[in-house]
Structure 1
Amino acid sequence: MRMRQVESRLPLVALTNYDFLQVGQPGASPWLGGIDIDDFGGDPIRAIRSFGATTFSPVQGFPQNGTVTDSAYRPCVTRELVRHAHANGIKVVPWTVDDIPTMSKLVDDGVDGIITDYPDRLRTVLASHGRRLPQAYASPFDVQAHRGGRATRPENTLPAFAHALENPAISTLELDTGVTADGQLVVLHDRTVNGSHCADTAPVRPRDPQFPYVGDLVRDLTLAQLKTLDCGSRTPADHPRQVAVPGARIPTLAEVFALVGSSGRTDVALNIETKISPLVADTAPYQIFTRTLVREIQRAGFTDRVTVQSFDWRTIRYARQLDRRLETVALIWQYGPAECTTAADECSLRAVYGDPTVKSLWTGDLDWWRHHDVGALVRAAGAGTVSANWQVHDPRQPVVASADWYLRQNPAYFHGPQVAVLQDRYRLKVVPYTVNDATVMQRVIDLGVDGIISDDPDLLIGVLIRNGLR
């Protein structure tokens, strides 16, 4: 009511619940702005007209979480109330309706809208009633297919990326890169050839002393040697829906760029990781690695469609020095005192959880113990996005034991500030990884993140649809 006094042109919505509208209560209700509903004969429409509201938004019925299928259900919104409201120029938009039978009843009553936690259900009801659906909007939520979406196709292969490109709800292809002995950028996750994904076929030439290649460092093998590997026949047990693609080869980054370019998906971005460690010298040096990547991005004309990400922040800082147009992502792997006991555990912020004398090498010359703030640290690295294991961002997690890194929880895993502060104060995007559980996806969405990296983008998209984000 006072809002109208401040700005007379502002449309007002009168929210209320069932109890506040009952007659015979002593005195005026503070929840109704000092109005006594008895003065209006118990008519909420007359009451809200008295202070200029244009929309009535009551709870849909009583009990508050009840549905029309409950025997004790009493509707607050009826067809007669809606007609009365419309006759007085008032719209009716009840809250919060999450079940299809009650939605259907309210649509039949003629309401002007429904507030719901499940917009996908409401769209289904509207379609079944022959109503014209409101036009869908382009959600800014970033769905990143981790390694191309390895839940359904062999990771980091052209078939995986092609499959992801067929899904218009996927907005980003996430992938990993390495540099070969002959200076070529290839797409694969590990710094060595991983035998759980790839299998030797034949040497690139007879009696090649380096054959078999599985288990060798990528930096020690040429592109031709790597191209002999079959990385599509072996399907991992932890991804039972993955469809084998026998004969799929390790692609070059140039081949991935060409695939995306020919797909017509000008809306798809690429999030490219440099697989490099500051702890061991088992890849091309970070300057050579980064220069090779930046040149390849520039050559393909993808500068405005990629982000460069790394756990080794030396590469993202150097990438920005080489080309200020490039957006970078600071990757973080951080857990608690049980997981971060030595530098070999590779924790990004606190190398040894409680020991500030042991500095993490992953953040370059930046030090968590100086900042104690993820936002300040990431901004100092020049990145525009932070991608951490999701637990880093959840301040209210309980203790949950699990062998799965992405299901375990502990309050010690949180490293602030909270997501909203990272976004508002530091102007950072927050895109956690690697979330493959629907319950955790919902929890992370509720944190307010900008996107999620997942092996299973189809599962993620289903959760997003339920939230009205796709």
Structure 2
Amino acid sequence: MAQFINFAHRGASAYCPENTMAAFRKALELGATGIETDVQRTADGRLVLIHDESLARTTGDERLVQQVNAEDLAQLDAGSWFDPSFANERVPALEELLELGRQHQLVLNLELKNGIVPYPGMEAEVIRAVRSFDMSQQVIISSFNHYSLALCKVLAPDIRTGVLYMEGLYQPWNYANTVGADSLHAFKYAILPEWVEEAAAQGIAYHPFTVNDEAEMERLLSYGVSGIITDYPDRLREVLSRKGASAT
């Protein structure tokens, strides 16, 4: 049986500014065995880790990620918005997390943020970066853009993909098969135990998001999900410990 994955959502984002190296390192301290993050691309083609298409919320810069080159992006403070103690945290490059993941044997869930800004060719660029770090077996590529997921599977059949969705997907395990996906990354309320069981019978894993309440964690664990995406990997670690589940 595959080992359960404790995914830290944008790193340990309850404790550190999201999608920063501080958040990723803190996630390790708090027991995460996986990191969920978001991939976008700068004006000059650098793959970087940030959720919003705009830089405004986390850096105060009103431009879009796609409008800024990597050198300028590296000068922006991506930590002070969260707390002054995180001043001068930066928007990381994908390679920085791949190196951390390789060092610590983490599973990396790389969400392609290409639903609003299309970023043509990003699928191949992400796959190339993953392969350059020999991380193909430790990465799951997810997206709300399911055309992008289907393309990733054509380009790299050996790299796992995950279908992100919010609600109402009919027989999602069958849908996952149509795009060659290995997992279903469903909003936490879009799951029933019989669906988890049916998906598992077809080799499809469930990784619900974003689950921060311990009672909800326990409910989803009772369904048999294969991983949980949370802002609080320490809470999930404790729940797993109480249940005697493996989080390593």
Q: If the length of structure 2 is used for normalisation, what is the TM-score? A: 0.92
**CA–CA separation in structure 1 for the residues paired with 2:98 and 2:34:** 13
Contact 1:218 1:283 in 2 (8 A): no
Structure 2 Cα separation of the partners of residues 139 and 293 of structure 1: 25
Of 132, 136, 155, the residue aligned with 1:303 is 136
Partner of 1:158: 21
Q: Give the RMSD, CA atoms, in angstroms.
A: 1.9
Structure 1 CA distance, aligned partners of 2:232 and 2:154?
Answer: 34
Q: Could you tell me how far apart the structure 1 residues matched to 2:179 and 2:2 are?
A: 28
> Quick one: structure 1 residues 374 and 381, their matched pair in 2 at CA, closer, same or farther if it must change by over 3 Å?
same
Q: Does 1:469 align with 2:245?
A: yes
Which residue does 2:39 correspond to in 1? 177
Letter in 1 for 2:200: Q
Q: Displacement of 1:234 after TM fit? A: 1.7
In the alignment of these two chains, the number of paired residues is 246
Note closer, same or farther for the CA distance 1:220–1:243 as it changes in structure 2 (3 Å cut): closer
CA shift, 1:244, in A, is: 4.0
1:271 counterpart = 2:97: no
Q: Report SS of the residue matched to 1:318.
A: helix
Report the counterpart of residue 194 of structure 1 in structure 2. 56
Alignment check: 8 A CA contact 1:191 1:283 kept? no
1:435 is paired with a residue whose SS is: coil
Which residue of structure 2 lines up, in the alignment, with residue 434 of structure 1? 210
Residues 101 and 107, structure 2, Cα contact 8 Å, conserved in 1: no
Q: Percent identity?
A: 30
Richer in strand (by share): 2
The superposition leaves residues 257-297 of structure 1 with CA deviations (integer Å, 9 ceiling, x where unpaired) of 22334xx423x1111010111xx4x3412xx1111111111
For residues 166 and 146 of structure 1, the distance between their equivalents in structure 2, rounded to whole angstroms, comes to 14
The structure with the larger Rg is 1
Deviations 1:19-55 (A, max 9, x none): xxxxxxxxxxxxxxxxxxxxxxxxxxxxxxxxxxxxx
Residue 78 (structure 2) pairs with residue 231 (structure 1): yes
Deviation (angstroms), 1:139: 8.4
Alpha-carbon contact 2:101-2:108 (below 8 Å) kept: no
Which of 175, 183, 186 is matched with 1:377 structurally? Answer: 175
Match of 1:329 in 2: 162
Query: Within 1, Cα distance between the matches of 2:56 and 2:215?
Result: 30
- Considering Cα pairs closer than 8 Å and 6+ residues apart, tell me whether 1 or 2 has the greater RCO: 2
Runs of 4+ in structure 1 off by over 6 angstroms are none
> In 1, Cα distance between the equivalents of 2:157 and 2:36?
21
User: Which whole-Å CA distance do the structure 2 matches of 1:171 and 1:331 have between them?
Assistant: 20
Q: In the alignment, is residue 454 of structure 1 matched against residue 227 of structure 2?
A: no
Q: Distance in 2 between matches of 1:316 and 1:457?
A: 26
CA distance in 2, matches of 1:215, 1:243: 20
Structure 1's unaligned 5+ residue stretches are 1-137, 200-213, 236-241, 336-348, 350-371, 396-416
| Paired residues of 1:178 and 1:283 also in contact (CA < 8 A) | no
Change (3 A) 1:150 1:248: same
Q: TM-score, normalised by structure 1?
A: 0.50
1:419 corresponds, among 171, 196, 205, to: 196
Give the CA deviation at 1:166.
3.1
8 A contact 1:147–1:156 mirrored in 2: yes
Do the aligned partners of 2:10 and 2:36 also contact (CA within 8 Å) in 1? yes
Instruction: After TM superposition, give the deviation of residue 465 of structure 1 in Å.
Output: 1.3
Aligned to 2:234, what secondary structure does the other structure show?
Answer: helix
Would you say the 8 A contact 1:191–1:276 is kept in 2?
no
Per-residue deviation, 1:243: 8.6
Is 1:222–2:222 an aligned residue pair? no
Whether the 8 Å contact between 1:156 and 1:250 is mirrored in structure 2 is yes
Question: Partners of 1:305 and 1:272 in 2: how far apart?
Answer: 11
Give the CA deviation at 1:194. 3.5
